[in-house]
């Protein structure tokens, strides 16, 4: 698995917050997502079906391709890890 490491971009974070809010129906809770906010295992809305939907939405919203080998539980561990992953994908 190719692990991409990049510092999170505030613009990516804002777009990601908005996307998570709409895909997972988080409402105002999405505004409170911080870098260290746990996602996988902490948000009941983020189940396996939601991850599949979220991956498709991320590809569309950020105009990126997420390969199967890029996907791991580590990416979804925290809001920050997902944001850093997306920042790297957008920059690539």
- Show me where the domains of the chain are located: 10-91
The CATH number for 10-91, chosen from 3.90.190.20, 1.10.1200.10, 3.30.360.10, 3.30.413.10, is 1.10.1200.10
- The answer, yes or no, to whether residue 63 has pLDDT greater than 50, is yes
pLDDT digits (tens, 9 = 90+) for 12-47: 999 999 999 999 999 899 999 999 999 999 999 999
Q: Which residues contact 86 (CB under 8 A, 6 or more apart)?
A: 12, 16, 58, 62, 64
| Residue indicated by tokens 């690539």 | 92
State the Cα–Cα distance between residues 4 and 9, nearest whole angstrom.
14
How far apart CA 84 and CA 73 sit, in angstroms, is 14
How much is the pTM? 0.88
Say whether pLDDT at 1 is over 50. no
Residue 59 — pLDDT band, cuts 50, 70, 90? Answer: very high
Computed over every residue of the chain, the mean pLDDT equals 91
CB–CB of 58/64 below 8 Å? Answer: yes
């Amino acid at each position: 698995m190719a692990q991409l490491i990049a510092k999170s971009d505030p613009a990516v974070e804002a777009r990601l917050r908005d996307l998570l809010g709409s895909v997972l129906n988080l409402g105002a809770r999405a505004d409170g997502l911080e870098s260290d906010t746990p996602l996988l295992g902490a948000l009941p809305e983020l189940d396996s079906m939601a991850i599949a939907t979220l991956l498709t939405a991320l590809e569309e919203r950020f105009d990126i391709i997420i390969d199967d080998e890029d996907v791991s539980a580590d990416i979804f561990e925290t809001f920050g890890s997902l944001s850093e992953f997306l920042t790297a994908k957008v920059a690539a």
